[in-house]
Structure 1
């Protein structure tokens, strides 16, 4: 482990030396009434010109979505979530396109860029706020490394501007190289993971815990569908039967699929039951409530916390 840490440290060092700026080519996409109607912006855009247009209605709440590693603005994860919100018609929608960097197959390099990506997002969001955007009505949603970017953005807004976001939703926040500092005191090379200090309410959906996703319960509420580490319909045989594009990321990708479904259906879905605080293996027999909560879009409607378990179907519709 010692030599692995040294290797990662030098890889970080080389990356930061050769990539002094890793935010050129990052865009913030404002969606109009349809998926093909959008406005592309970036730092120093005149955001005031978008207020009370079809791209930003000041009377609506806003969802701000950041995709993860090996994803992008035109890939199915982002599209499904954007389309889900478009079908509701009651939100402004902003999606961050950092695919120029997230498409890199070298996970260590991409993870090392999270801090700079977060700083750039913070700068752009601060410009929006100064232009008249009400960030108190923003709901920040991120998948994988996107969730870790948003955790860092929340941290920077608190420390730099004494402003705390209302809600951050982490869709299987990236696990490798991101630590719960309260637990992993020996591995200081890792970044702190998304946690409940980053916003007034942090809800996390764990679908690939311990592999691509974080295993830590660091939100105000942490949902563990099917136990949180593997998902129904994601075995190798399942992947082959349903022509899954990437079996390796099937469990990890279920987080955004569950979330998109929860946005699409307006009634409370994905009802989960509370697990005892001392439970580390999340099963139906151990997580019996009596407290319940709805995973996904409606999670903030429940004044509860802790770990919550539920079972899903192996394909759409996932909610039982």
Structure 2
């Protein structure tokens, strides 16, 4: 899909975005399905067991015998129409993290509150984020020094932004890191109405943009913003906006696998024009994905392949993505 087919889609989405954001700004959102924190859960994923507890009883999860208290915590929130039992995003990222035994990997089960009318789902991101922060507050009461990394795709990125802000309000501390995977665009035009993810929501906010200007935000939003494949909304190897929107998830998941952390190399762009022309500073770099340069700031161009493996860093080890420990489960779910 070239620029002549992508442009009409961007214009149409801009109209939808303006209408949705304006109705929220003036407070005329129709009655929606309001999130009920008692129906929301954390799901702790391991190679052999998925363990679920309510957000309001998060301490049960943190005190679970298989929860490793000396390991960092990674929490994932997905986007619109994605539920914990039916999500391509969860499948890809959880599979990768099962190859990282040094991480506690948890999914936010927001029930059906992001599986309804899009405007309602977008509006629900604030309340879901607040509820998530309450669960995280329970965590730090029993594990005050744990490193927290929040990851969100599409609407999930904005859930994590709100969770980060609410967590700081509740505890006085910022979570370590929030990664936004192609944060959703429609309905997030006006910060006063629905702010979404932004710089300052965590000690480090990093963004991977893959369908810019259509389903996802175009402009830089974090401390470091990666633009794999450049500024075109359709990524290499894709023929649809949905494929491009999911690419951010695929890129990140690929970087989680052991020995794949340096698969994606970003070059710093000192201006948007440099990014458009892909004429960026090859001497100032950062890897993109699970492992990044925490001192890097600004926008970065990343060269990618049109099919898996997507990373093109010539210095990355040439090992397969499935090269991880085989787990022998001695107990049932």
Say yes or no: TM over 0.5. Answer: yes
Match of residue 285, structure 2, among 292, 302, 308 = 292
Deviations 1:20-78 (A, max 9, x none): 544453221012333xx111111332624643621x10111111111111212232210
After superposition, the C-alpha distances for 1:172-197 in whole angstroms (9 at most, x for unaligned) are 1111122474xxxxxx54x1131221
What SS does structure 2 have at the residue aligned with 1:84? helix
Separation (CA, whole Å) in 2 of partners of 1:21 and 1:49? 21
Residue of structure 2 in register with 1:304 after alignment:
296
Distance 1:152 1:169 in 2: 13
Q: What is residue 240 of structure 1 aligned with on the other side?
A: none
Number of the residue aligned with 1:14: 30
1:33–1:89 Cα contact (<8 Å) kept: no
DSSP-derived class of the 1:87 partner? coil
1: CA distance, partners of 2:284 / 2:82: 35
Cα distance 1:231–1:50, how it changes in 2: closer, same or farther (>3 A)? Answer: same
Tell me what 1:53 maps to: 65
1:220-262 Cα offsets, whole Å, 9 max, x none, are: 1000001143211112xxxxxxxxxxx4411111111100000
Q: Is 1:126 the equivalent of 2:137?
A: yes
1:273 aligns with 2:276: no
Q: Deviations 1:255-286 (Å, cap 9, x if unpaired)?
A: 1110000001434120010101x325724542
Query: In the TM superposition, what whole-angstrom CA distance separates every residue of 1:100-154 from its partner, at most 9, and x where no partner exists?
Result: 12122x2111101111111111111112222x13464111111111110110111
Answer yes or no: is the 8 Å Cα contact 1:168–1:199 preserved in 2. Answer: yes
Instruction: Name the counterpart of 2:80.
Output: 69
1:45 partner SS: helix
Contact 1:175 1:210 in 2 (8 A): yes
- Taking the aligned partners of 2:55 and 2:263, their CA distance within structure 1 comes to 37
Gaps of 5+ in 1: 182-187, 236-246
| Partners of 1:122 and 1:319 in 2: CA distance | 33
TM superposition score normalised by structure 1: 0.84
- Contact in 2 for aligned 1:135/1:165 (Cα 8 Å): no
Shift of 1:84: 0.4
1:140 corresponds in structure 2 to 150
Give the structure 1 partner of residue 97 of structure 2. Answer: 85
One of 244, 256, 279 as aligned partner of 1:251? 244
CA distance in 1: counterparts of 2:39 and 2:103, whole angstroms: 26
TM (norm. structure 2) is: 0.80
Instruction: Find the partner of 2:174 among 164, 182, 196.
Output: 164
Distance verdict in 2 for CA 1:173–1:231, change over 3 Å: same
What secondary structure does 1:165 align onto? coil
Q: Is the 8 A contact 1:203 1:220 kept in 2?
A: yes
Structure 1 pair 252/3, CA: closer, same or farther in 2 (3 Å)? closer
Which gives a bigger RCO, structure 1 or 2 (Cα 8 Å, sep 6+)? 2
For this pair of structures, how many residues does the alignment match?
293
Q: 1:23 to 1:14 in 2, by over 3 A?
A: farther
Match of 2:322 in 1: none
CA distance in structure 2 between the partners assigned to 1:3 and 1:314 by the alignment:
34
Q: 1:44 aligns with which of 56, 68, 74?
A: 56
Task: Select 1:233's aligned residue among 232, 237, 240.
Answer: 237
Q: Is the 8 A contact 1:224 1:309 kept in 2?
A: yes
Q: Within 5 Å, give how 1:104-123 maps onto structure 2.
A: 104=116, 106-123=117-134
Map of 1:192 onto structure 2: 195
The answer for the alignment partner of 1:32 in structure 2 is: 46
- Distance in 2 (alpha carbons) for counterparts of 1:177 and 1:147: 14
